[in-house]
A and B are shown apart, each in its own frame.
Chain A
Amino acid sequence: MAETAIKKTKRQELDEGGMGYLQSLPRRVVTVYLPLLVFVIVLLFPFYWMTITAIKPNLEMTDYANFNPLWVVHPTFEHIRYLLFDTSYPGWLLNTIIISTAATFLSLLAAVFAAYAIERLRFSGARPVGLAIFLAYLVPPSILFIPLSVMVFNLGLYDTPFALILTYPTFLVPFCTWLLMGYFRSIPFELEECALIDGASRWQILIKIVLPLSVPGLISAGIFAFTLSWNEFIYALTFIQSSENKTVPVGVLTELVRSDVYEWGALMAGALIGSLPVVVLYSFFVEHYVSSMTGAVKE
Chain B
Amino acid sequence: MAVSSAAVQPRPSILSRSLSLLADSRNALGFGFMLPAAALLLVFLTYPLGLGIWLGFTDARIGRPGIFIGIENYQYLSEDAVFWLSVFNTLLYTISASILKFALGLWLALILNQNLPFKSFFRAIVLLPWVVPTVLSAIAFWWIYDSQFSILSWALIEMGLIDHRINFLGDPVNARASVIAANIWRGIPFVAITLLAGLQTIPQSLYEAATLDGASRWQLFRFVTLPLLTPIIAITMTFSVLFTFTDFQLIYVLTRGGPVNATHLMATLSFQRGISGGQLGEGAAIAVAMIPFLLAAILFSYFGLQRRKWQQGGGD
Contact = CB atoms under 8 A, between A and B. Distances in A.
Contact of B284 (A28, A147, A203): A147
Interface residues on A, range: 35 or more
B144 A46 contact: yes
Interface string B189-206: 100011011101100100
A233 B248 contact: yes
A271 B137 contact: yes
Interface stretch (A82-90, A213-221, A272-280): A272-280
A290 to B, nearest CB: 6
Contacts of B126: 39-40, 43
A109 B151 CA distance: 46
Contacts of B136: 248-249, 252, 270-272, 274-275
Interface in B40-56: 40-41, 44-45, 47-49, 51-52, 55
A32 B235 CA distance: 26
Contacts, number: 296
Nearest to B45: A170
B164 to A, nearest CB: 14
B281 to A, nearest CB: 9
Interface string B101-128: 0001001100111111001101111111
Interface in B162-177: none
A148 interface: yes
A119 to B, nearest CB: 11
Interface stretch (A72-80, A120-128, A185-193): A120-128
Q: Is the interface of B mostly helix, strand, loop or mixed?
A: helix
Contact of A203 (B23, B45, B112, B266): B23
B270 interface: yes
B201 to A, nearest CB: 7
A20 B114 contact: yes
Interface string A213-248: 000000000000001001101100110000000001
Interface in A273-295: 274-275, 278-279, 282-283, 286-287, 289-290, 293-295
A3 to B, nearest CB: 15
A32 B115 CA distance: 10
B128 A16 contact: no
A43 B185 contact: yes
B140 interface: yes
A140 B238 CA distance: 13
Interface string A22-57: 000000100010011001101110110110010000
B130 to A, nearest CB: 9
A44 B128 contact: yes
A208 B248 CA distance: 43
B183 to A, nearest CB: 13
Nearest to A135: B298
Contacts of B135: 231, 233, 249-250, 252-253
A146 interface: yes
Contact of B44 (A62, A167, A230): A167
Contacts of A18: 204, 207-208
Interface in A117-162: 117-118, 121-124, 126, 129, 133, 135-136, 138-151
Given A150-B60, A249-B135, A297 B236 contact: yes
Contact of A253 (B125, B131, B201, B253): B253
B275 A230 contact: no
Nearest to A231: B133
A113 B33 contact: yes
Given A42-B185, A46-B129, A293-B194, 14 more contacts: A28-B114, A46-B185, A50-B143, A117-B34, A139-B49, A140-B242, A146-B283, A149-B275, A151-B51, A167-B44, A170-B40, A202-B29, A233-B249, A234-B248
5 contacts: A47-B132, A107-B40, A174-B41, A227-B131, A287-B120
Shortest 10 CB-CB contacts between residues of A and residues of B:
A123-B30, A17-B115, A294-B197, A114-B37, A117-B33, A18-B204, A140-B246, A249-B135, A147-B51, A142-B267
